[in-house]
Chain A
Amino acid sequence: MVEPLLTTRGLSRGFGALKACDGVDIDIRAGEIHALIGPNGAGKSTFVKLVSGEIAPDSGSIHLLGKPVGTLPMTARAGMGMARSFQVSALAPSMTGLEHVVLALLQHRGGVFHFFRPIARDTGLKARAEEILARVGMLDRATIPVAGLSHGERRQLEIAIALALEPRVLLLDEPMAGMGAEGSARLAALLNELRGDMGILLIEHDMETVFALADRISVMVGGQIVATGNAGEIRSNATVQSAYLGDAP
């Protein structure tokens, strides 16, 4: 069996007395969509923050493409091919969507430390960015500063930025929340297309979407993974039934 793209073992992080993540073991394999579900406050976002390097773990290990990255800064992990969307959009209000995507594209195209050449002149870059924006359905709103975009549009831009990083591992923290039915359907279709190219961790509350998209599902409750399996296994898992699905919204 091929080695997973991303592996965590015993990953833990507390806030004061609260154990937000408590010994989490998760694998993300190449080409799979791995859904992470669980009630609010289960620790899903904390897990994503730990893996991406926004916060440091108390204990446990993270391996990306077989290398330990638990102590590397966020930038190094991004450079190795990890991309992440934020649950709460993290964007620059004065910059346009196009500029966001162009900036993200630079990671694999010589970096940002170029001081003279006007970025607007780089037509190849612009074309590529527009292609990505079109994929998430944002092309017609590409040149509006983020401050003028709707909540749903910002969510779409989050995805576009993540795609521009051309990741091996993509972590999506509730990407569909606030997107509307049409946006969610488009994103689901897009994720289906992307499935072969990268490993995707998808945090999502809507069970229908999860069961339709995910190759595997992990269920998190109180900071711990209580079950992992395919859609059928999760549906029939008794622990999951009582702990989560039984009182899902």
Chain B
Amino acid sequence: MRSDMIFTLAAMAALLAAGLYGYLGDEPFFLTLAAKAAIFALAGAGLNIALGYGGLVSLGHAAFFGIGGYAAGILASHARNYEPLMSWPVELAGTTSAPLIWIVAMLAAGLFSLPMGLLSLRTGGVYFIMITLAFAQMLYYFAVSWPAYGGEDGLSFYVRNELGGLSTMDPWSWFLICYAILAVALVFIAVLTRSRFGLALTMARENPLRLGNIGVAPRRVLLTAFVISAIVTGLAGALYADLNRFVSPSMLSWHMSGEIMVFVILGGVGRLGGPVAGACVFILLEQVLGGFTEYWQFLLGVALIVIVLMGSGGLAGLFERTGVRKAAAHG
């Protein structure tokens, strides 16, 4: 617990330092990258609730990421075109208010995750992986073939959504917004894992039979965790859409699900700061290796294989082991 906290603070400090460097050095591209890292970290933190704390290997989190993205894109494009979202039974207008969009994004992702979780938790184990993957793919194909919001080409909306008097188009402000949301989410997750529910979730992961034996249905606990997880990742999707001022089906693709999982694995599964470290490293690799060769994901693949086969527990695991070694050397 202690070392997890220190690791989380270190990862968050590093991300903030990256943002500050971009701000002071007047490098908007760098700032945008830092904001992207914060958003990916948030998506990974969402997945980590299901994957790390609940042991649910979801390969469908792109669905929630994409739903969040489309919620932002659709609401904003309606508001900008002055077309109501729907006119029957009640007239609903679009909006460009960021907080409202975030709430809708979270609600939409949570609502979709409920039936998806119910169905995929019916059998569990390896089925869970296949079913989450399949439902996300269903949404992907739907987005591709539904022409109203751009279909395969996606949907652009030119200006970021509004938050109070802040200028969201300013990279520094935008980075701070994303960073603050990430920080709030991490605090929320830290609180969650220390709550009654967090204790039950650990038991659901490590010994579901025992959880049932003490009167709590493991499936209800896992489903709840899955929905919370989807809500957080959905929020990340809304921010990502705003970052790019663009959504497309690629946010819903299986490749996206895999990438979100990679953020978590690289950083450390079930560690609070894992996804933060993982997302930062991912973007760093993308920039450094991607500068080398456009086939950088080949190298990423090799690195991932080596990391997992060595069973290192990601960056957080590395951090812990060096910490333990130091402590042993001192005491």
Taking CB atoms and an 8 Å cut-off, the chain B residues in 194-215 that contact chain A are 194-200, 202-203, 205-207, 209-210, 212-215
Please name all residues of chain A whose beta carbon is closer than 8 Å to the beta carbon of B202 when the two chains form the complex: 92, 94-95, 99
Contact with B along A86-98 (1 / 0, CB 8 A): 1000111111000
Please name all residues of chain B whose beta carbon is closer than 8 Å to the beta carbon of A84 when the two chains form the complex: 213
- Known contacts A90-B209, A92-B207, A95-B203, A114 near B195 by CB under 8 Å: yes
Q: Once the chains bind, are A92 and B196 in contact (CB under 8 Å)?
A: no
Interface stretch, picked from B3-11, B32-40, B216-224, is B216-224
| Interface status of B192 (Cβ within 8 A of chain A) | yes
| Interface status of B191 (Cβ within 8 A of chain A) | yes
Number of interface residues, chain A, beta carbon within 8 A: 35
Please name all residues of chain A whose beta carbon is closer than 8 Å to the beta carbon of B213 when the two chains form the complex: 52, 54, 74, 78, 83-84, 86, 90
Please name all residues of chain A whose beta carbon is closer than 8 Å to the beta carbon of B214 when the two chains form the complex: 78, 103-104, 107, 161, 164-165
| Complex Cα–Cα for A164 and B215 (A) | 12
| Interface status of A15 (Cβ within 8 A of chain B) | no
| Complex Cα–Cα for A115 and B201 (A) | 11
Q: Once the chains bind, are B216 and A95 in contact (CB under 8 Å)?
A: no
| Complex Cα–Cα for A101 and B215 (A) | 13
- Known contacts A75-B215, A111-B216, A112-B216, A90 near B207 by CB under 8 Å: yes
- Known contacts A90-B209, A95-B203, A75 near B195 by CB under 8 Å: no
Main secondary structure of the interface of B (DSSP, over half): helix
Number of interface residues, chain B, beta carbon within 8 A: 24
| Complex Cα–Cα for A86 and B209 (A) | 10
Q: How far is the CB of B312 from chain A (nearest CB, A)?
A: 18
- Known contacts A73-B217, A118-B191, A78 near B212 by CB under 8 Å: yes
Contact with A along B300-314 (1 / 0, CB 8 A): 000000000000000
| Complex Cα–Cα for A161 and B192 (A) | 23
| Complex Cα–Cα for A49 and B196 (A) | 27
Q: Once the chains bind, are B199 and A102 in contact (CB under 8 Å)?
A: yes
Query: In the complex, given contacts A103-B203, A161-B210, what are 6 additional A-B residue pairs having Cβ atoms less than 8 angstroms apart?
Result: A54-B209, A91-B210, A92-B205, A104-B214, A116-B195, A119-B199
Hey, which bits of chain A sit against chain B, CB under 8 A?
Answer: 52, 54, 73-75, 78-79, 83-84, 86, 90-95, 99, 102-104, 106-107, 111-120, 161, 164-165
20 pairs across A/B with beta carbons < 8 Å?
Answer: A52-B213, A75-B215, A78-B214, A86-B210, A90-B209, A92-B203, A92-B206, A93-B206, A94-B202, A94-B206, A95-B202, A95-B206, A106-B196, A106-B216, A107-B216, A112-B216, A113-B224, A118-B195, A119-B195, A161-B210
